[in-house]
A and B are shown apart, each in its own frame.
Chain A
């Protein structure tokens, strides 16, 4: 296991981990990132998706849509090519309606999030779903509920050959809770890619 992670890390350092290729395989990936690397990696994915004409569904769990969209715009990415699900802005009363974002009332309603993603896949034709980040859900939900949510989501979407992609990082969550979540999610994940230099997972 450790050898595998070291290998992955060095492959990454050589620029050889082709995230897009992994996503193309239609797998459920767990990506471990440091906070500062998170937006770079998401921008990289968004750029590549734009080239392949695939549409990204970005679930904003850590930052509101406006912040994420501004960040991506500053990196030269056309945010109109992605669909966003924002669970934070309404909660904090900072919602500004836009065509490419679904605003949900609360970050705690997993059923609502599930329906919004389903609609993004069906109606907006999104084929890649990015959770930024699944760890952040631990602020609102207990581990077992997130695992069940993920499992139910995967059962439905993987059957339809939809491509899934989850981002997981540790920084703002107690390490123990994050490790528990990660260990359970790994039971369903096709691959875990570790970009987190500090982690020994």
Chain B
């Protein structure tokens, strides 16, 4: 599942990952992501950090707080440069990776494959 409020980027991510053989579900914000997680159990959630409404951090906290979704794999998509405190927070939230935007398509696919296994 890819969650990003930027429509063009969401389409690009979907295309790149589908070309690499992944089935992709998209959501344009945190609310839609949480709603879709009621019926879909993705192998990985690629979550944008800075979104209107709920931030990626808040969405991730909600995923971790729900027994039905708490074990799902999460990675962040972000333009952010995290501080050491921020990196510690990512570890506590069991975020497996953070992919910085803009990203290299091949690198993105490689990292997603590594996480999904």
Contact = CB atoms under 8 A, between A and B. Distances in A.
A189 B49 CA distance: 15
A180 B50 CA distance: 13
What size tier do the contact residues of chain A reach? 20 to 34
A192 B55 CA distance: 20
B85 A144 contact: no
B21 interface: no
A64 B53 CA distance: 30
Closest 10 CB pairs of A and B: A187-B86, A144-B52, A190-B83, A184-B55, A148-B50, A188-B83, A151-B80, A187-B82, A189-B83, A186-B85
A118 to B, nearest CB: 19
B72 interface: no
30 contacts: A28-B83, A144-B50, A144-B52, A144-B53, A147-B50, A147-B55, A151-B79, A151-B80, A151-B81, A154-B81, A158-B81, A180-B55, A183-B57, A183-B58, A184-B57, A184-B58, A186-B85, A186-B86, A186-B89, A187-B49, A187-B57, A187-B80, A187-B82, A187-B86, A188-B80, A188-B82, A189-B86, A190-B84, A190-B85, A191-B85
A147 B57 CA distance: 12
Interface string B65-94: 000000000000001111111100100000
Contacts of A147: 50, 55
Interface string B37-55: 0000000000001111101
Contacts of A112: none
B100 to A, nearest CB: 11
A194 interface: no
What size tier do the contact residues of chain B reach? 10 to 19
Give the secondary structure class of A's interface: helix
Give the secondary structure class of B's interface: loop
Interface string A165-188: 000000000000000100110111
A143 B84 contact: no
A191 B88 CA distance: 12
Interface of B: 49-53, 55, 57-58, 79-86, 89
A101 to B, nearest CB: 31
Nearest to B50: A148
Interface string A1-40: 0000000000000000000000000001000000000000
A157 to B, nearest CB: 12
Given A147-B55, A191-B85, 9 more contacts: A142-B52, A144-B52, A151-B81, A186-B86, A188-B81, A189-B85, A190-B84, A190-B85, A192-B85
Contacts of B79: 151, 155
A62 B77 CA distance: 34
Nearest to B61: A183
A86 B50 CA distance: 27
Interface string A72-108: 0000000000000000000000000000000000000
